[in-house]
């Protein structure tokens, strides 16, 4: 069974946000605070290894090919049904 993972902010981020909210802000303080928080979140990003990147790419390509085949097959089936129902296309 899958476990539930909730991304909770760390205590220092919450404390800093409350402190910044309590202080009187200028017109650009909200933008600066937002940018600081974005930078802090970007520091947490983990880049995949080369092996992981190749496997992710392969999974995406296989999925896209399977979906293309499914859509192509359904398109052929529906066009065959339309021709069967309404007659052959022509002038």
3-state SS string over the chain? CCCCCCCCCCHHHHHHHHHHHHCCCCCCHHHHHHHHHHHHHHCCCCCCCHHHHHHHHHHHHHHHHHHHHHHHHHHHHHHHHHHHHHCCCCC
Is the model's pLDDT at 3 over the cut of 60? no
Q: What is the pLDDT of residue 19?
A: 74
Map out the domains of the chain as residue ranges.
Answer: 48-83
Per residue in 38-79, pLDDT (tens digit) is 999 999 999 999 999 999 999 999 999 999 999 999 999 999
- 8 vs 16: which has the higher pLDDT: 16
**For the whole prediction, is pTM greater than 0.75?**
no
């Amino acid at each position: 069974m899958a476990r539930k993972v909730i991304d909770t902010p760390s205590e220092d981020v919450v404390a800093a946000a409350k402190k910044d909210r309590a202080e009187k802000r200028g017109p650009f303080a909200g933008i600066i605070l937002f940018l600081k928080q974005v930078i802090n979140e970007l520091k947490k990003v983990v880049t995949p290894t080369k092996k992981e990147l190749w496997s992710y790419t392969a999974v995406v390509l296989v999925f896209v090919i399977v979906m293309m085949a499914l859509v192509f097959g359904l398109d052929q089936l529906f066009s065959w049904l339309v021709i069967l129902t309404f007659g052959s296309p022509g002038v």
